[in-house]
Chain A
Amino acid sequence: MPIVAGIDCGTSFTKALLLLQEDGTPRVIGKGRTRSGVNVDDAANEALQQALTDAVVDRSQIAYVSSTGFGRYGVGFRDIQVTEITAGARGAHFLNPGTAAILDIGGQCTRAIGTTNSGKVKQFKSNDKCAAGSGMFIQRAAKYLEIPLEEVGELSLRATHPQPISSVCAVLAESEIINHVSAGVSVEDILRGIHESLADRAGALLKRVEMKNELTLIGGVAKQAGMVRAIEDRLKIRVYVPPDCDFVCALGAGLLGLKRLANQRATAEAR
C-alpha cells in the first residue's frame, strides 16, 4: 500500500497532498498548505510536513513524490514533475469524471483546459502575462479596499448592482476602483465588478479552447463564491467547483505519481 505525495508549488501557495492506494480507488489521507515565499524547496517541505501530520504518517512511508506548478523544478526531493495543465486535468477528472472544460484561476495565472472524456489534455490556453486575469488582481483590490481576502467571495455575492470595471489592466483599474469608492459605490458592488471582469477574461480564454457545459473550476480563486456566481452569470454556463478546489493540481500530480510508481514496479517485477 504505497503512499504518494503530490506537491503543487504555485506562485502564491504551495499545496501538498498524500494519496494512499489500497485496493481500488486512491484515497486522500492528508493535506498541507503554506505560502510559497521565496524558497520553493522550503515551502514544499513545510506543506509536506503539514500533510504528514494531518495523515499521521511518517515521511519514510512516502514511496514517491510528484511535483507540479510554477515551482515544480525547485522541489529537490521530487521523483518526477508534471505540468500544472496535465495535473489539473487529471485531478479534475478524478473528482468530476467526464468533464471536458476546466478553468484554473491561480495567483498569477489563469488556464483554460479542454480535455478528452478520459481526462487527457486536448488543448489549453493560459494567461500568465497580465495580472488582470489572475487572483493577483483580486488580492490587490482587496488590499486597496482594506478587505481581508477571505471575505471577498461572500461580499461579492451580496452585490446588488455590480459595478463594471472598464480597465483591463490591474494597475489602471486601481484608479477606477478609487473613483468608485469616492463616488460612494458599495464594496460589494465593486468586488463583484472585479469578479465579472475576471470572468470575462476567463471566457475569452475558454472560447479559444472549448466551452462546454459544465465547467470544472479549480484553483484558489474558485473558493470565492462571488467568482463562481460571476462566471455562471457572465458566461451562461454551469460551474462545478470540487471540494478543496485549490488542491486539485496537487491531487492530479499525486494520481500521476501513483500511476508512474505502479508502472515502475510492474517493470521491476517483469525483470
Chain B
Amino acid sequence: MDLTEALLKLLGFARDWSARARGFAFLLSLPLLVVTVADWRIRRRR
C-alpha cells in the first residue's frame, strides 16, 4: 500500500477503512484537544 492510499484511508475515503483504527485515532485526539484548548486559555489569561 502506498502513502496516498494510506492517507485516503486516514480521511475515510477508502472502502476498506478500518472503523477500529478510526475510533482509536478519535480516542487519541480527545486528550490532545482538551489539553491544547485548556493550555491556550490559561496562557491567554496570564
Real complex partners, A and B? no
Contacts from A to B (Cβ < 8 Å): none
Contacts from B to A (Cβ < 8 Å): none
